[in-house]
C-alpha cells in the first residue's frame, strides 16, 4: 500500500519538534511574513534552517506556507524573502496565488509546489490546470466530498498527490476566503490577520432603537450564527485513504504544543493500525477518548459525506471543550537523584493526580508525591510559568513526555 502521510501544524519550533516526536511524517509552517496564520509564532529564516535540519535528521519533511493573496505592495518584499530562503532545503512550498507560484519557481527553480486549499480547487479540471503549471500536490478545498475527491483522483496523473484536512477548525467562508474580519476590524484574513468574527456572539438591533439588542433565537444567550463545529475524521480514516488522499492534514498552527501532541498521537495510532492490516482494521474508542483530551469544539464530518446542515453548527457557544490542562513537559532526569525534571506550563500541586503522555506509548496516571524547586527546596505547588521542578515519580517518564491534569 502507498505510504500515507500524517501532516501536522507547526506554529513555532516547539510545536514542530513536538509534532515529529509524537508521530507526524511531515509538518507545515509559516515564516514571519506571507503566511495565512500571522498570529502563530512562525519561524525566522534562521529557525527554518534549524527546523529543516531537525526534520531531515528525524526522517520527516517540512513544507513552508506562502499562501497569502498579495497586493502590489507585497511583491518586492516577497521576492526578497524568497531570495533569503532559497538555499534552505525546504521540501515543498504551499501557495495559492499564481503570481506567488511564479515567484517561487523563478527564485527556486527546483522547488516543489503544493497548491493550498485557499486556491479553492473543487474539481479535476482545475486540478489538472494546476498540474500543467508544475504543481505536484493538490490540497483539496474543504468543501469537497469524498466522492468528488475520488473522482478527482481518477482524473489526475498517478504521480500527483492529494492532500486533505481531516481534523481541526472549519471556516464559515469558502475555503477561508473571507472579508468579514477586514470589514469589522480592518484585519485582512486573506493576508494572514483573521480575527475569527465567525466565532463572535451576535444579536439583532433595529435601526431606530440603538442599544436595544434582541436575541436571534428565543433564549437569553444570543446566537453564534456562523460558528461551525470542528472537523474530525478519526473514525473515518479508511474512507479518506480509499478516496485517494495520500496526505492527511491536521489544522491548528495557532494551537498549543499540547494540542499538537494529543491530536497527532491519536491519529498516528489509528493510521498505524489501519496500515498494518487494512482488511481487519477496527476503530478503537480509546483513540477518540485520547483525542478529546485536547481542547476542541463539538465535532462534524464537514462536507465529506453531505452538505453541512444546522447539525454541524453550534448556536449556543463558541467556547472550546477543555477538560484537561497542560501542566508540564519532561526535560530529563536528574542523574544524581533519579528525579524527573519538569518544566511547568500551568499550575499544579503536590497530591494532584496527573496523566503522563509519552511519544508512542499509552498514557498513564500518577500522583505527584512531592516537588523540589531548582535549588532543592521542597515546594507544595508549581505556580510560576516555565519554572523547573523535580518530582520523584514511581515510573520515570521519557524525555519530552507531556503532563496533563483533568480540570
Let me know how many helices (H) and strands (E) the chain has, helices first. 10, 22
Q: Which of 321, 313, 309, 322 is nearest to 224 (CA)?
A: 313
User: Mean pLDDT throughout 350-363?
Assistant: 94
The confidence band for 218, taking pLDDT boundaries of 50, 70 and 90, is very low
| Backbone torsions φ then ψ of 404, nearest 5 degrees | -140, 160
Reference 344, options 357, 358, 332, 326; nearest CA is 326
Characterize the bridge pairing of strands 348-349 and 381-382: antiparallel
Contact in structure between 327 and 345 (CB atoms under 8 Å): yes
Q: How many C-beta atoms lie closer than 10 Å to residue 201's C-beta?
A: 13
Mean pLDDT (whole number) for 77-81: 93
H or E stretch covering 31: none
Between the ranges 90-104, 200-214, 296-310, where is the mean pLDDT highest?
A: 90-104
Is the predicted pLDDT of residue 120 greater than 50, yes or no? yes
Mean pLDDT, range 203-219, rounded to an integer: 68
Least confident of 81-90, 191-200, 246-255, 378-387: 191-200
Distance CA 315, CA 308 (A): 14
Provide the b/e sequence for 260-289 (b: ≥16 CB within 10 Å). Answer: bbbbbbbbbbbbebbeeeeeeeeeeeebee
Determine the average pLDDT of the residues in 305-327.
75
- Whether 156 and 179 have beta carbons less than 8 Å apart is answered as no
Q: What band does 342 get if pLDDT is binned at 50, 70 and 90?
A: very high
User: pTM of the full predicted structure?
Assistant: 0.86
Mean pLDDT of the 224-238 span: 85
Residues whose CB is less than 8 angstroms from the CB of residue 162 and which lie 6 or more positions away in sequence, other chains included:
137, 138, 139, 140, 149, 152, 153, 156, 244, 245, 246, 247
**What is the radius of gyration, based on Cα positions, of the chain?**
23
Q: Residues 6 or more apart from 210 whose CB is under 8 A from it?
A: none
Residue 174 or 209, more confident: 209
Mean pLDDT score, 69-89: 94
Looking at residues 295-316, what average pLDDT do you find? 77
Question: pLDDT grade, residue 318 (50/70/90)?
Answer: low
Q: Is pLDDT of 192 > 90?
A: no
Share of the chain above pLDDT 70, in %: 88
* Region 338-359 average pLDDT: 96
pLDDT for the residue numbered 216: 60
Q: What is the pLDDT of residue 358?
A: 95
Give the number of other Cβ atoms within 10 Å of residue 167's Cβ.
24
Q: What cell does 157 get?
A: 496523473
What is the reported pLDDT for 34? 75
Looking at residue 320, what is its pLDDT? 65
pLDDT at 51: 98
DSSP symbol at 118? G
**Where does the pLDDT of residue 35 fall: very low under 50, low under 70, confident under 90, or very high at 90 and above?**
low
Q: What's the whole-number average pLDDT of the chain?
A: 89
pLDDT band at residue 41 under the 50/70/90 scheme: low
Q: Which domains does the chain have, with CATH numbers?
A: 5-174+227-312 (3.20.20.70), 324-406 (2.40.30.10)
299 vs 26, more confident: 26
All 3 cell numbers of residue 406? 483533568
pLDDT-derived band at 36, boundaries 50, 70, 90: low
Is the model's pLDDT at 141 over the cut of 80? yes
Written as nine digits, the cell of 71 is 497586493
In the DSSP assignment, the letter for residue 398 is P
> Do 71 and 192 form a contact (C-beta atoms < 8 A)?
no
Report which of residues 151 and 300 the model is more confident about. Answer: 151
pLDDT of res. 283 = 96
Amino acid at each position: 500500500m502507498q505510504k500515507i502521510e500524517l501532516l501536522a501544524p507547526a506554529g513555532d519550533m516547539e510545536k514542530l519538534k513536538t509534532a515529529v516526536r509524537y508521530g507526524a511524517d511531515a509538518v507545515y509552517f509559516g515564516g514571519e511574513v506571507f503566511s495565512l496564520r500571522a498570529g502563530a509564532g512562525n519561524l525566522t529564516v534562521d529557525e527554518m534552517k534549524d527546523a529543516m535540519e531537525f526534520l531531515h535528521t528525524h526522517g520527516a519533511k517540512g513544507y513552508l506556507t506562502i499562501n497569502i493573496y498579495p497586493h502590489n505592495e507585497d511583491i518586492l518584499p516577497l521576492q526578497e524573502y524568497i531570495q533569503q530562503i532559497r538555499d534552505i532545503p525546504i521540501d515543498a512550498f504551499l501557495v495559492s496565488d499564481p503570481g506567488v507560484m511564479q515567484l517561487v519557481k523563478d527564485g527556486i527553480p527546483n522547488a516543489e509546489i503544493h497548491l493550498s486549499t485557499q486556491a479553492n480547487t473543487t474539481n479535476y479540471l482545475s486540478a489538472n490546470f494546476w498540474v500543467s503549471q508544475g504543481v505536484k500536490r493538490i490540497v483539496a478545498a474543504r468543501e469537497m466530498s469524498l466522492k468528488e475527491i475520488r473522482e478527482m483522483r481518477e482524473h489526475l496523473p498517478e504521480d500527483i498527490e492529494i492532500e486533505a484536512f481531516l481534523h481541526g477548525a472549519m471556516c464559515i467562508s469558502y475555503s477561508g476566503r473571507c472579508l468579514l474580519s477586514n470589514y469589522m476590524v480592518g484585519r485582512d484574513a486573506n493576508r494572514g490577520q483573521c480575527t475569527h468574527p465567525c466565532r463572535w456572539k451576535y444579536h439583532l438591533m433595529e435601526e431606530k432603537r440603538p442599544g436595544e439588542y434582541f436575541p436571534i433565537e428565543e433564549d437569553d444567550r444570543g446566537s453564534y450564527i456562523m460558528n461551525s463545529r470542528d472537523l474530525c475524521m478519526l473514525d473515518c480514516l479508511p474512507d479518506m485513504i480509499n478516496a485517494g488522499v495520500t496526505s492527511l492534514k491536521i489544522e491548528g498552527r495557532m494551537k498549543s504544543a499540547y494540542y499538537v501532541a494529543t491530536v497527532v498521537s491519536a491519529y498516528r495510532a489509528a493510521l498505524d493500525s489501519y496500515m498494518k492490516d487494512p482488511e481487519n482494521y477496527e476503530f478503537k474508542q480509546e483513540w477518540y477518548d485520547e483525542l478529546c483530551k485536547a481542547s476542541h469544539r463539538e465535532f462534524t464530518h464537514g462536507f465529506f459525506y453531505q452538505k453541512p446542515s444546522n447539525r454541524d453548527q453550534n448556536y449556543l457557544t463558541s467556547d472550546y471543550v477543555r477538560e484537561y490542562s497542560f501542566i508540564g513537559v519532561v526535560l530529563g532526569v536528574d542523574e544524581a537523584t533519579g528525579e524527573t525534571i519538569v518544566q511547568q506550563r500551568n499550575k499544579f500541586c503536590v497530591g494532584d493526580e496527573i496523566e503522563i503522555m509519552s511519544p508512542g506509548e499509552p498514557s498513564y496516571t500518577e500522583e505527584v508525591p512531592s516537588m523540589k524547586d531548582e535549588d532543592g527546596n521542597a515546594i507544595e505547588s508549581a505556580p510560576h510559568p516555565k519554572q523547573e521542578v523535580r518530582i520523584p515519580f514511581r515510573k520515570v517518564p521519557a524525555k519530552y513526555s507531556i503532563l496533563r491534569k483533568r480540570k
